[in-house]
Amino acid sequence: MDYLLTEEQRMLRDMVSKFAKEKIAPVASENERNHRFPWEIIREAGELGLMGIAYPQEYGGAGMDFVSYFLAIEEISRWCASTGVIISAHSSLVCDPIYRFGTEEQKRKYLPELLSGKKIGSFSLTEAQAGSDAGNTKTTATKVGNKWILNGSKLFATNGAEADVFVLIASTDPGKKTKGVSAFIVEKDMPGYRIGKLERKLGIRASSTAEIILENVEVPEENMLGELNQGFKVAMVTLDGGRLGIAAQALGIARACIEDSVKYAKERVQFDQPIANFQAIQWMLADMWMEYNAAWLLTWRASVMKDKGLPYSAEASLAKLKASEVAMDAARKAIQIHGGYGYTEDFNVERYYRDAKITEIYEGTSEIQRLVIARHLLK
């Protein structure tokens, strides 16, 4: 599908592919197994401009487009889905709302260090009772003088243990649900802020997933992001872009499954011939490739729409829903093609299988994506 890309996009993709193969691939399994955040990779990604691909150079970004960003997340996730989500959550869920909804002062204060990867970002929307029902926020922000006092706890924050800067949603008008929440920029050094439980997870174990506890955290009034009681809008617009990051992550996992399966099918001999000779294996590979291509095209289309400034919310949901289901199915088939060896840690496909599952859950479950798509059709 190279002909759909500009020369600049192809060059970026090839550069990221080389970086990922040389630097990420060799340590991916070990980091994942040891729940180890890949600091050195994230620092180097920052030096290469990968922590701020689709942001203007005047704020320290690489000045490229969103298609380039999705290509980069796919290439990185091809080798390590944990690294893919670390960069995606940082870029899509933190840099994007600050860039889109931030005041000039907020952009100048936060973006240069975030876009260069010197600081890491995390997005805190979810709470115990506010998962798919994201507007049911119980964390409160109360205005006292020229400060907001935040109290409550957030769950499942990707990069939560490492982040310096948080985009966090809190209730500013309790009882009004989606119409009474606001977004804030919170820094980890603000007194009263602390990290709670770190989740032990099925997959993407090299990325952290943390509880964030807020006890009388004093946030300066100038750190409100967007307008008062407009936090739900900030979160939903942010998640549209985030879903394309997750679609790209899922595409990377699916491609890993396909490439590893093709290699294995050619090498593994049973009944005196490579298993690639068997039609059952060929059909699985063909189906994996067909589905990957469909998901890639949906993700590319939504990314082009985003770059053109067109509404793309339903298209982002289509891309995320398709790509995540394709990744899950490709991982299941990849293990089948690898037989018993695929079930062991000697091959990467077991990691792909564990990693693929989360793409059907975070940034809106598959059921919520179907809801968004159906609403769009029926409106």
Ligand X SMILES: Cc1cc2nc3c(=O)[nH]c(=O)nc-3n(C[C@H](O)[C@H](O)[C@H](O)COP(=O)(O)OP(=O)(O)OC[C@H]3O[C@@H](n4cnc5c(N)ncnc54)[C@H](O)[C@@H]3O)c2cc1C
For 132-163, give one letter per residue: b (16+ CB within 10 A) or e. Answer: eebbebebbbeeeeebbbbbbbbbbbbbbbbb
Which residue, 158 or 317, is less far from ligand X as judged by CB?
158
137 part of the interface to ligand X, by CB under 6 A: no
358 part of the interface to ligand X, by CB under 6 A: yes
> Which of these ranges, 33-41, 252-260, 336-344, 354-362, lies near ligand X under the rule CB under 6 A?
354-362
365 part of the interface to ligand X, by CB under 6 A: yes
101 part of the interface to ligand X, by CB under 6 A: no
196 part of the interface to ligand X, by CB under 6 A: no
Residues 314-333 that bind ligand X (CB under 6 A): none
Which residue, 320 or 338, is less far from ligand X as judged by CB?
320
239 part of the interface to ligand X, by CB under 6 A: no
Q: Which residues pair with 166 in a beta bridge?
A: 122, 186
Please give the residue whose beta carbon sits closest to ligand X in the complex.
131
201 part of the interface to ligand X, by CB under 6 A: yes
Q: Which of 77, 88, 158, 238 binds ligand X (CB under 6 A)?
A: 158
If you count them, how many residues does the chain have? 379
Q: Which of 126, 171, 317, 359 binds ligand X (CB under 6 A)?
A: 126
Q: How far is the CB of 111 from ligand X (least distance, A)?
A: 19
Q: Which of 108, 194, 367, 375 binds ligand X (CB under 6 A)?
A: 367
Residues 55-84 that bind ligand X (CB under 6 A): none
208 part of the interface to ligand X, by CB under 6 A: no
> What's the chain look like in SS3?
CHHHCCHHHHHHHHHHHHHHHHHHHHHHHHHHHCCCCCHHHHHHHHHCCCCCCCCCHHHCCCCCCHHHHHHHHHHHHHHCHHHHHHHHHHHHHHHHHHHHHCCHHHHHHHHHHHHCCCCCEEEECCCCCCCCCCCCCCCEEEEECCEEEEEEEEEEEECCCCCCEEEEEEECCCCCHHHHEEEEEEECCCCCEEEEEECCCCCCCCCCEEEEEEEEEEEEHHHEECCCCCHHHHHHHHHHHHHHHHHHHHHHHHHHHHHHHHHHHHHCEECCEEHHHCHHHHHHHHHHHHHHHHHHHHHHHHHHHHHCCCCCHHHHHHHHHHHHHHHHHHHHHHHHHHHHHHCCCCCCHHHHHHHHHHCCCCCCCHHHHHHHHHHHHHC
Which residue, 87 or 265, is less far from ligand X as judged by CB?
87
124 part of the interface to ligand X, by CB under 6 A: yes
Which residue, 75 or 363, is less far from ligand X as judged by CB?
363
Q: How far is the CB of 258 from ligand X (least distance, A)?
A: 24
Active site residue 259: no
Q: Which of 137, 362, 369, 372 binds ligand X (CB under 6 A)?
A: 362
374 part of the interface to ligand X, by CB under 6 A: no
Q: Which of 56, 131, 174, 192 binds ligand X (CB under 6 A)?
A: 131
Query: Position of tokens 């990314």?
Result: 303
Q: Which of 20, 125, 254, 257 binds ligand X (CB under 6 A)?
A: 125
164 part of the interface to ligand X, by CB under 6 A: no
157 part of the interface to ligand X, by CB under 6 A: yes
Would you tell me which residues interact with ligand X (CB under 6 A)?
89, 123-126, 131-132, 156-158, 201, 209, 358, 361-365, 367-368, 371
Give the residue numbers marked as catalytic: 363
